[in-house]
Amino acid sequence: MNIKLSNKELNKINSDIELIVVKDLKKLEKKEQKLLKKVSFDTKAFDTYFHAQENKFFVACSKLKKEDLKLCFSSAIRSIKKLNIKSIKFDLIQNDKELKIDELVEGLVLGEYEFTKYKSNSKKAKKLQITICTTNSKKEEEKLEKELANALAITSSVNMVRSIINTPPEDYFPDTMANDAKNIASQNDLTCIIHGEDYLQTNGMNAMFNVGRASRHESKLIHLAYKPKEPKGKIVLVGKGLTYDSGGLSLKSGAGMVSMKCDKGGGSAVLGIMNTLKALSCEYEVHGIIGAVENMIGGDAYKPDDVLVAKNGKTIEVRNTDAEGRLVLADCLCYAQDEIKDIDYIFDYATLTGACIVALGNETIGTMGHSDKLKAKMQKAADSSGELIGILPFNRYLPKQLKSGIADIVNSTASRAAGSITAGLFLDNFVKKENKKKWLHLDIAGAAYSESPWGYNSFGGTGAGVRLTLDFIKNLDK
């Protein structure tokens, strides 16, 4: 898809069709009102209708802002893709309202996405040319171009994350993720450090090392860093990069293993965020730490009843080898705090618990932490970006469920109650005291992957966490 702005009048722009957003039928010409009423066009259901004789494509939208506008344009582009159309034009002013460039671009680009790499009969996707007429806009052309460029940078990274998540584990493993990190670093002037298993063992990162030791693919600790001149602060992002999770010796069921390529969703989100910072001229220093690991079975697999020593010296009794993501994150959190000083914010992202899906559904990110102020800031970013979060509260009674008879803590509790929260409290053991109020845990288990399309998300990976975090960073000074 190629999106450009034009200051030509709409009727002087050559295009196959004109896209018209319909909020109120009464605003249309009489003949168009009559036509849409005849086909039962619903202005509240993102309905679409193509009037071939006039080369006009109508799409309904009851509210011309935020998620409604994104859903409107995603509905339009999905329908247009089925037509033999190469170019589209529309006016930025619709129903006497100037639409926001970033919102409509998100709808178009995210709605158009499909993952067809492994389809044997897939045709090369036609590149749609989209021209937005800005003649009547009240904003300066340079500002609009900047908004367009930023929106394209963000949506491009989201789609990159989607494709990483959707790639099968035979083709995407820890070394692949490390190579992607190197490419992202090269393209965005980031520093990139990759550590292998020798480093993990030498530096006491035994929790992460043991999760991946039965795999034929070596585990990789990835550290990306974006460092602008005179940064306003320092942000650390930690991602769970389980390129595949069989459950280990606590083997998942056959059905439970299907879609476990999505377990790299947290690490992939960190890659997507780091890929966008330069384009957005981010004024904060940002570090991305990813534990890229494959959890497999075999004679060398770690076992229930094992006791592992994490990087900070905490001992962990393994009760369930399928509670592996928190082990990887534990060491990655320790590494981040040991290597990076004067942190202002530290967020971790992980497809961590099925319990989060039970609690909040398939669209919402479970958010946990000690600071109500920080959670409120993240909620504000969620409202602005369109990603959904739900706050799951810690309490004084749950930590005792993590107590072990032979070690400091267990990696999996005996009770299924509050499974997402106890997983968050497990990670809390690896956050230093001075960073407790700076840390948020984001469980993206439901939001990162879906086998049923929803909103402007297609089947598979969604890129959850990317837009949310970028919006959080963008609005830190407001």
Whether the CA torsion 113, 118, 120, 124 is positive or negative: it is positive
Q: Are residues 55 and 164 in the same domain?
A: no
Q: Are residues 394 and 276 in the same domain?
A: yes
Q: What strands, in cross-sheet order, belong to the sheet with 17-22?
A: 2-6, 129-133, 87-91, 17-22, 56-60, 48-51
- Residue 167 has which token pair? 């790639």
Interatomic CA distance for residues 287 and 284, integer angstroms: 10
* Domain that residue 104 falls in: 2-133
**197, 212 contact by CB (below 8 A):** yes
Q: Active-site residue 78, yes or no?
A: no
Interatomic CA distance for residues 1 and 22, integer angstroms: 23
Question: How do residues 247-268 score in pLDDT, each as one tens digit?
Answer: 999 999 999 999 999 999 999 9
Question: How do residues 175-198 score in pLDDT, each as one tens digit?
Answer: 999 999 999 999 999 999 999 999
Whether the CA torsion 54, 59, 61, 64 is positive or negative: it is negative
- Catalytic residue, from 326, 438, 467, 474: name it: 326
Is residue 50 a part of any domain in this protein?
Answer: yes
Q: Are residues 350 and 388 in the same domain?
A: yes
Q: Are residues 25 and 126 in the same domain?
A: yes
Q: Are residues 263 and 185 in the same domain?
A: yes
State what percent of residues in the chain have pLDDT above 90: 96
Q: Is 157 exposed, middle or buried (0-12, 13-18, 19+ CB in 10 A)?
A: buried
Confidence band (pLDDT; 50, 70, 90) for 477?
Answer: confident
Is residue 143 a part of any domain in this protein?
Answer: no
Beta carbons within 10 angstroms of residue 186's beta carbon: 10
Q: Active-site residue 81, yes or no?
A: no
Count of the separate structural domains present in the chain: 2
Question: How do residues 10-29 score in pLDDT, each as one tens digit?
Answer: 999 999 999 999 999 999 99
Q: Are residues 255 and 290 in the same domain?
A: yes
Q: Please name every residue paired with 60 in a beta bridge, in sequence order, or none if there are none.
A: 22
- Residue 364 has which token pair? 């919402």
Tell which of 133, 150, 175 closes a domain.
Answer: 133
Which ranges of 309-399 would DSSP assign to H, the alpha helix?
Answer: 325-339, 354-360, 372-385
Tell which of 133, 151, 179 closes a domain.
Answer: 133
Place of tokens 């202002």: 344
Q: Are residues 86 and 167 in the same domain?
A: no
- Catalytic residue, from 100, 139, 146, 252: name it: 252
